[in-house]
Amino acid sequence: MRSRVLIFLLLWLFASAPAHADKIRDLAQVAGVRTNQLIGYGLVVGLDGSGDQTTQAPFTTQSLENMLQQFGITVPANVRPQLKNAAAVTITAELPPFAKPGQTIDVTVASIGNAKSIRGGELLMTPLRGADGNVYAMAQGSVVVGGISAQGKSGSSVQVNISASGRVPNGATVERSVASSFAQGGDLMLNLNTPDFTTAARIAEAVNRAYGAGTAQAVDGGSVAVRGPADPAQRVSWLGMIQSLDVQPGDAPARVVVNSRTGTVVIGSEVKVSAAAVAHGSIQVTISEQPQVSQPAPFSRGGQTAVVPSSTVQVSEDGAHMFKFGPGVSLDAIVRAVNQVGATPTDLISILQALKQAGALHAELVVI
């Protein structure tokens, strides 16, 4: 028996629900106020024999030798350490806006060699660099891994999630601030998280209604220009007051998002279907192989025993259903109809694509 379709319904805007308002801070971001990506290369040590195999990851040994030289220890040229307790890793982090030296940020550690697990490892001090090549943070600390893996001597193994990557909470200390254009004079630009002409116009209208006509102007569907204060020292308080204004965003677009890999379907409440009839069924193809042995005749010369293949192919169509959508069908009706026929997520994807091709689905169909 088929399981019911699991549909995660993202109800962006209920037609029957009262209009709601959001803060401008939740709808738009200030231009120039952004995070910056950091990356570094380092070593994780203290592993329980689950580190890199140096024969297949020679860069791990080279990295450790370079580190030992900095401490005045020279490894003989004819000695190749077998490091099972160390792993070469990449370290990534996001430097938040206005981060100051001394503050801490989280880092993500991922193995780049053949280490089986970095659980219980210690990340050695590693500089984190930005896109310009400058060092903005230093990372070090114990790695926290959410996955687990185990392997027996016979070769059998079990794994839950990924144990070759983890995080170091507050594992990096900021060493340098990123220059920001926020403190400079001029107008402030608000960039919408989701571009929409209606939302941009309503943001400008809300600012002008609160602080006078001409204070804000919608540049396009994704940006709103706000007049900056004459005193640069008042930019923070001025922007804080603007971000606290309430704005009713525009209606969410009619959109259906389908994840073909996991079978997840997200349907917006604005999705409508025109009058259409849909036939849904499942086709099963059964192929059975029964090889037969052919023996040569008695006392025959040159005869050989041969295997003759014998195949049986059967095609059956079970569970065929047909259901009809009336004009202007809402989201609830679509869900009920699909669940009543017992369609799987894969079947639902096919139904939505067929409705789109027939012009009966009045929504944007996004397949990821």
pLDDT at 83 over 90: no
| Residue (of 271, 280, 282) closest to 333 by Cα position | 271
Distance, in Å, from the CA atom of 347 to the CA atom of 344, rounded to the nearest integer, reads 5
Q: How would residue 14 be classed by pLDDT, with cut points 50, 70 and 90?
A: very low
Average pLDDT, stretch 312-320? 55
Structure-block tokens of residue 77: 């040229």
Per-chain mean pLDDT for the chain: 75
pLDDT of residue 154: 55
pLDDT at 316 over 70: no
Structure-block tokens of residue 4: 């019911």
> Left if phi > 0, otherwise alpha if psi is -120 to 50, otherwise beta: which for 360?
alpha
Average pLDDT, stretch 79-107? 86
pLDDT at 224 over 70: yes
| Residue (of 137, 160, 143, 59) closest to 109 by Cα position | 143
pLDDT of residue 115: 79
| Residue (of 147, 149, 165) closest to 157 by Cα position | 149
- Residue in this structure with the two tokens 């939740």, named with its chain if needed: 26
Q: Which of 62-76, 82-96, 285-299, 305-319 has the highest mean pLDDT?
A: 82-96
Average pLDDT, stretch 291-318? 63
pLDDT of residue 15: 37
% of the chain with per-residue pLDDT over 90? 17
Q: How would residue 68 be classed by pLDDT, with cut points 50, 70 and 90?
A: confident
| Residue (of 357, 194, 366, 358) closest to 266 by Cα position | 366
Q: How would residue 155 be classed by pLDDT, with cut points 50, 70 and 90?
A: low
Average pLDDT, stretch 147-155? 59
Which letter, b or e, does each residue of 29-50 get, where b requires 16 or more Cβ atoms within 10 Å of its Cβ?
Answer: bbeeeeeeebebebbbbbbeeb
| Angle formed at CA 283 by CA 281 and CA 284, multiple of 5 degrees | 140
pLDDT of residue 8: 39
What backbone phi and psi angles, to 5 degrees, belong to 5?
-70, 130
Count other C-beta atoms under 10 Å from residue 185's C-beta.
10
pLDDT at 315 over 60: no
Contacts (Cβ under 8 Å, ≥6 apart) of 137 = 38, 93, 95, 105, 127, 128, 172, 173, 174, 175, 176
The larger pLDDT score, comparing residue 81 to residue 24, is at 24
- Report whether 91 contacts 139 (CB < 8 A): yes
Q: Which residues pair with 160 in a beta bridge?
A: 148
Long-range contact list for 76-84, CB < 8 A, 24+ apart?
A: 80/54, 81/54, 82/54, 83/51, 83/52, 83/54, 84/47, 84/49, 84/50, 84/51, 84/52, 84/53
Listed range (98-107, 202-211, 225-234) with the worst mean pLDDT: 225-234
As a dihedral over the C-alpha atoms of residue 224, residue 225, residue 226, residue 232, rounded to 10 degrees, the angle is 130
Long-range contact list for 340-348, CB < 8 A, 24+ apart?
A: 341/280, 342/1, 342/2, 342/4, 343/2, 343/5, 343/280, 344/2, 344/3, 344/5, 344/263, 345/5, 345/6, 345/263, 345/264, 345/265, 346/263, 347/5, 347/280, 347/282, 348/5, 348/7, 348/265
| Residue (of 89, 114, 68, 98) closest to 168 by Cα position | 89
Tens of pLDDT, residues 340-361: 666 666 666 677 777 777 666 7
The larger pLDDT score, comparing residue 56 to residue 67, is at 67
Q: Which of 65-74, 108-117, 151-160, 355-364 has the highest mean pLDDT?
A: 108-117
